[in-house]
Amino acid sequence: MSSTGLGGNGLLKGLVRGFNNGMVALMRLPVLGERMSGTMAEISYVGRRSGKTFRTPIAYRRDGDDIVIGVAMPDKKSWWRNFLGEGAPLTIHLREGDRTGHAVASRDEKGAVTVTVRFDQLA
């Protein structure tokens, strides 16, 4: 099937891009964004192969001083693979301001993927 067909990869990527753009727009709204800000944020990172900067919305939870990102349907996504092994730097765009940190992805025995972000020390 072509990339423009219903089951095509191009259509799926377009739908995901549209959904992500919609989520980012909602997070920027005054009232709704404030409500979402405790569990939703946008991250930016540099692709391990392309060297390009990417931004994507994520759902997260706090674990002490760390941020834990649960990756839904990890086999359908590739962004988290940038943080396998030793991990890599990223920026999380929180309502209270941008924070940089080091992120490491891990997969458990059931296949669930999490990305744990340890923030850099504030100056």
Question: How far apart, in whole angstroms, are the C-alpha atoms of residue 67 and residue 101?
Answer: 10
**Read out DSSP for 62-114?**
EETTEEEEEESSGGG--GGGGGSTT-EEEEEEETTEEEEEEEEEEE-TTS-EE
pLDDT tens by residue, 13-52: 666 666 566 665 555 656 555 555 568 899 999 999 999 9
Which of the following CATH numbers is that of domain 38-119: 2.30.110.10, 2.40.128.110, 1.10.10.10, 3.40.960.10? Answer: 2.30.110.10
Beta bridge partners of 89: 102
pLDDT of residue 3: 37
Report pTM. 0.73
Q: Are 43 and 60 in contact (CB under 8 A)?
A: no
